[in-house]
Structure 1
Amino acid sequence: MRVLVVGAGAVGGYFGGRLLEKGEDVTFLVRNRRKEQLLKTGLVIKSQHGDALLRPQLLVSGEQPEPYDVILLSMKAYQLDAAISDIAPYVGADTLIIPLLNGMAHVEKLAHAFGKETILGGLCFVEATLDQDGAVVQTSAIHDLVFGIRNGEQTERIKRITEAFSETKSNFVLSDNINQAMWQKYLFITTLAGITTLFRSPLGPIRDESLGALTMKQTLQEAEQIMRSIGAPLGEEIVENNWDKLHSIEATIKSSMQRDMEKGLPVEADHFYGYLLNIAKENGIAAPTLEKIYANLKIYERQMGFRWG
């Protein structure tokens, strides 16, 4: 099973690295600067689940065009258009693409580019970042990658992928209802990213402050209402379950979007919140808390000179 990981940042570097550590045939498609760094230092993983120093195969877009069995997309949503162009030479008739982007807006765009049967569902739960030397630093107990066929079928190809993804030092989980899992993750991360970026704080101090907790609940409820207005398969008691989850995870946890803001990097304001607010507008749903979160992110983008969206 030949695996191409698009991006060797925190997410791609961690999960691709765990596959490589196991002995799978993994190649990373990266930019020139990251390639030079990895050639010098190797792919370094620092994690409570085990450190690793790996020497991966590396490609820059356009090199060695040939199809891969699986392509893992681990970049940010604002890099999606470029990634679609970059991976085209590596997509064959039997290639399956697993996007690990948060949200849902990317699925239709990928299906339009490569065909809906080529695009699996995917998501991950991992708190990871790159340090100043380019090492992947993974900092919490959770390190799950969930994937599955969006129509629920279990094919021979998905069985082969599941076998390849098994027995690593991270958790690769095959879901029989990946659409629901993706929407549920979208609801959770909309809330976590929204409040941590709005208050510029880890989760714990926000939930310990009464008005912070209220904002968290309002974010969760508004996002759920918008998603249900288009028939998103969220399942029952999703608000209560997410509320409990947000109170059970580590107080020190930060969203990846908050970490990006702290580093002065772009954020996914439109992919996360613009998408939901457009649905809210079309359906006449009030979402004042989400509007404030979105405004905060758009102001940040403009202050930093990021002008898309």
Structure 2
Amino acid sequence: MGLKFLIVGAGAVGGYFGGRLLEAGEDVTFLVRPKRRKQLEKTGLVLKSVKGDATLDPPLIEKRETGIFDVILLSTKAYQLDNVLPELTGFMHKETVILPLLNGMEHLETLDRYFNKDVVLGGLCFIESTLTNEGHILHTSSGHRLTVGERNGEMSERVKRIAASFDKTNADVRTSIHISEEMWRKYLFIATLSGITTLFNGPVGPIRDSDEGRAFTHQLIDEIVTVIRHTGEPIGNDFADKAWRQVMKLSDETKASMQKDKEKGLPVEADHIPGYLLRLAEVNECFTPFLQAIYANLKVYDQWRKDDSR
């Protein structure tokens, strides 16, 4: 018997991977807000992707509706998490698992406090996608990788079943027995990319092509790695080099999703990406001037949004 998936939201990440599951014939339902529901009922779930387009008719529910699910795929923005969690318990049975695909690491602490820690898997994805003004999911790069694993390093049957559900999907889905390390690697990469593109207010190409931009990026990576090492996490010696190589491989036009949100005037995850690293740095007395500059820039942007909305 197949797994029943609840995808929380139908945005650029959850909408994409949930849509690929639905396209492959899996049992998928989307938990959405009323405005998004009306939009999806009118247009369908539209994927515009370099890996193949799809227009799907997704099952939709809103909070306080009924349904019990085996896997809850959670891909909200970190600043939305506290409002979402109370909605989820009514959709869970005793063996339901939560697969979070949020950026950063702080959300694991939040989820562990709210649910039994054993309920929460480790997960991450690499995908360059965004939600258009029409509500379509635009996927613009060749990567669409999702990785899932047990945070204790075991290869469990539930992880195998989730991976098997993705076997026939048009997506690159993997399992890992080193999911925590992979999540820290992703955190380093996304904190670097979001940091430089939001601070310099543009794509990675000009930053990487200037001596000053390259030097700043190098020093930012070293700073973040120092903070992570002080947490006691068993991270590899190649963390900094691999993050640098990832940045070097990006296309000139690449921007972090945070920069794209900034350009649209949307909220950003300032407190959850650089902010969480700064809180770790403060506890461990790490010197972090580059992270502080990035965070200050994002908080000024937050203030601009507040002032502009008055």
* Other structure's SS at 1:172 match: strand
Bigger mean CA deviation after superposition, 165-174 or 42-51: 165-174
User: Number of paired residues?
Assistant: 305
Aligned 1:28-107 pairs, distance under 5 A: 28-64=30-66, 66-107=67-108
Q: Any conservation in 2 of the 1:32–1:60 contact (CA below 8 Å)?
A: yes
Match of 1:135 in 2: 136
1: distance between equivalents of 2:134 and 2:257? Answer: 18
Secondary structure in 2 aligned to 1:110? helix
Residue 223 of structure 1 corresponds to which residue in structure 2? 224
Identity of aligned residues (%): 51
Counterpart of 2:6 (choices 4, 7, 21) is: 4
SS state at 1:157 partner:
helix
Q: Is the 8 A contact 2:148 2:159 kept in 1?
A: no
SS of the equivalent of 2:16 reads helix
The 10-residue stretch of structure 1 (6-15 or 158-167) with the greater mean CA deviation from structure 2: 158-167
Q: Within 2, Cα distance between the matches of 1:88 and 1:203? A: 41
Structure 1 residue 292 and structure 2 residue 308: aligned?
no
Question: Does structure 1 retain, via aligned residues, the 8 Å contact 2:191–2:273?
Answer: yes
C-alpha separation in 2, matches of 1:291 and 1:118: 34
Moved more, 149-158 or 3-12: 149-158
Corresponding residue for residue 23 of structure 1: 25
Q: Confirm or deny: 8 A CA contact 1:179 1:233 kept in the other structure.
A: no
> TM-score w.r.t. structure 2 length?
0.96
Query: Aligned to 1:125, what secondary structure does the other structure show?
Result: strand
Determine the C-alpha separation between the residues in 1 that align with 2:306 and 2:65: 32
> Aligned partners of 2:53 and 2:297: how far apart in 1?
36
> How big is each residue's C-alpha offset from its partner over 1:136-179, in whole Å with a ceiling of 9 and x where there is no partner?
00000111111111111222222211110212111111111100
In structure 1, the residue corresponding to 2:94 is in which secondary structure?
A: coil
The aligned residue for residue 193 of structure 1 is 194
| Deviates further, 83-92 or 185-194 | 83-92
The Cα offsets for residues 236-263 of structure 1, whole Å up to 9 and x where unpaired, read as 1111111111101212111000010011
Alignment of 1:140-179 (within 5 A): 140-179=141-180
Counterpart AA for 1:49: K
TM-score, normalization: structure 1? Answer: 0.97
Could you say what secondary structure the match of 2:65 adopts?
Answer: coil
Q: Is the 8 A contact 1:6 1:29 kept in 2?
A: yes
In structure 1, distance between residues paired with 2:301 and 2:151:
35
One-letter amino acid of the counterpart of residue 131, structure 1: T
DSSP 3-state at the match of 2:13: helix
Q: Secondary structure at the match of 1:142?
A: strand
Q: Which amino acid aligns with 1:60?
A: E
Is the CA contact (8 Å cut-off) linking 1:104 and 1:182 kept in structure 2?
yes
1:213 aligns with 214
Large movers: runs of 4+ above 4 Å: none
The gaps in structure 2 that reach 5 residues or longer are none
How many Å separate the matches in 2 of 1:298 and 1:182?
25
